[in-house]
Amino acid sequence: MGTVQTNYFVTNEYLLNEKSYFREALDLVTLPVRAFLNGHVVDLRGTSVALKRNVFDFSKTIANPNLALLVSRVLRFAVFVLFAYFYNFSLVSSGLLCLKYLIESSSIENQIRSMEQKSEGPESSKEVRSITLDTTGLEKPEKLHSHKSAIYDKMKGGKSWIEDTNIRLTIYPFKRDGVKQLLIFSNKCGEIKVHEGFFSYPNAKELQEEWTANFSTPQLFSKCLDGDLTQDELQVMEHPGLYHIKRKIDEKPEIGTLKEDEIALITGAKRRGAFLANYCYGKRFASRSTDDVQGYAFKLDEAESRIFCMSAPKVLPEQVGKPYKKEDLEALFYRSYHAFSKIKALAKPQRIRIHTGNWGCGSSGHNPRVVALMQVAAAHLAGVDVLEYYPLEAKKDWQIAIYYYESLKPGFSSWTVDEFLTDMAMRAQDRGFVYKSHRD
């Protein structure tokens, strides 16, 4: 009989490490289940098969941990029956083993319940920061650039003020430790689409939530009042209620400043129009006349958007042209994963569709190829249902990132997140993973 290796399917380590008929029988009985749990086959040429997937990893990735509990109960009951059969226990011994099973059952289920809570965010309630704002009656922000002031008035649509009655900003912290040892290819993104141009904001469909990225600095909306036009400022211009969130943050900076690995989710902000940014993006915006700029703005029917904010680490001048360091790859990956997994957890049981793109590839100086690869890997691990990507002029980098990610999956299915990021850093130079300048 060929040896089938498992990775801790029951809690009794002695039984798992002891080569016995019990272990081989248990391996054979659970083989179909472990294959269903997405275990990976190491060698099909002989009788040796290694499957390293287990119930605990499974419970971290499925949408409903109750399914993991059911599988766990069935397997542990099978352990009890097989043990009693192979060793012909007496009634007393069987009773004691049954008691042990019940104790372990409670312990394991508590662990899985704990995992379910962690999947909704490892933060404590004291660490989460949030504000809720009704913009009704609030005057237009002071010091707003004249072009943006004119568009703000246009977005009001003849009303006295912007009426967003329930904008909510929530900042969530994140701890990496629980993610480092997850298998990087243990989950999958349902569908990936690539788009031309700037973000679209499709209306949410039944049983599907739409979330759009905001590529912010650590201080949210810090430059939305000035004369430049980046992705961040464009989004605020089309959602003018966010100007008033900016005012709140100025009054109390700690409620709108992202610390390391923190992300922010915003709900209730209404998109009131669209702006054709192709004609005056970046610093060209301020050089246009106010009349020209107003001509690029169009009033639309109001619709609430869901926005997630994440800040990329800043590339230093001395880093430009050099290969990526692991700590920056980690920041890009973990912040993306935190945003995607938090949205996924809060949206249950609805599907989620994420709209993102060249995060940190402007003034922060990041490489579009690296950013695309890290976000795609994070979306797969988080189980994003649909990823909508907007690479703008970096479509070739996007294609290379996708090709590279897909080429890794067949041969490296046992990689953990930490191993994946370590390899990316070790071979960064060979793969063209180098820091860019925002002038590129």
The 10s digit of each residue's pLDDT in 257-298 is: 998 889 999 999 999 999 988 888 888 899 899 999 999 999
Average pLDDT over residues 340-350: 90
- State residue 364's pLDDT score: 84
- State residue 211's pLDDT score: 95
What is the set of domains in the chain, with CATH numbers?
4-119 (no CATH), 129-426 (3.40.220.10)
Dig out the tokens for 350 from the structure. 């609805």
- State residue 231's pLDDT score: 86
Q: In the structure, what pLDDT confidence band is assigned to residue 10 with cuts at 50, 70 and 90? A: very low
Higher pLDDT pick, 217 / 111: 217
- State residue 38's pLDDT score: 42
What confidence tens digit (pLDDT) does each residue in 303-337 have? 999 999 999 998 999 999 999 999 999 999 999 99
Place of tokens 């100086």: 365
- State residue 238's pLDDT score: 94
Average pLDDT over residues 103-120: 48
What confidence tens digit (pLDDT) does each residue in 64-104 have? 555 555 665 666 666 666 655 655 555 555 555 555 555 54
Angstrom distance (rounded) from CA 397 to CA 432: 10
Q: Which residues contact 282 (CB under 8 A, 6 or more apart)?
A: 228, 229, 230
Higher pLDDT pick, 19 / 259: 259
Any idea what DSSP says for residue 274?
A: E
The answer, yes or no, to whether residue 203 has pLDDT greater than 90, is no
- State residue 86's pLDDT score: 57
How are strands ordered across the β-sheet holding 129-133?
Answer: 129-133, 167-172, 263-275, 297-311, 208-216, 351-357, 386-390, 191-194
Q: In the structure, what pLDDT confidence band is assigned to residue 253 with cuts at 50, 70 and 90? A: confident
Angstrom distance (rounded) from CA 380 to CA 142: 43
The reply to whether omega before 349 is within 30° of 0 (cis) is: yes
Count the residues in the chain: 440
What confidence tens digit (pLDDT) does each residue in 376-434 have? 999 999 999 999 999 888 889 999 999 988 888 777 778 899 999 999 999 999 989 99
Angstrom distance (rounded) from CA 384 to CA 337: 10
- State residue 95's pLDDT score: 58
- State residue 223's pLDDT score: 86
Alpha carbon of residue 124 to chain centroid: 19
**Max mean pLDDT range (37-46, 85-94, 171-180, 371-380):** 371-380
What confidence tens digit (pLDDT) does each residue in 209-236 have? 899 999 888 999 988 999 888 888 999 9
Residue 419 parent element (H or E): helix 417-426
Angstrom distance (rounded) from CA 147 to CA 153: 10
pTM for the full predicted model = 0.72
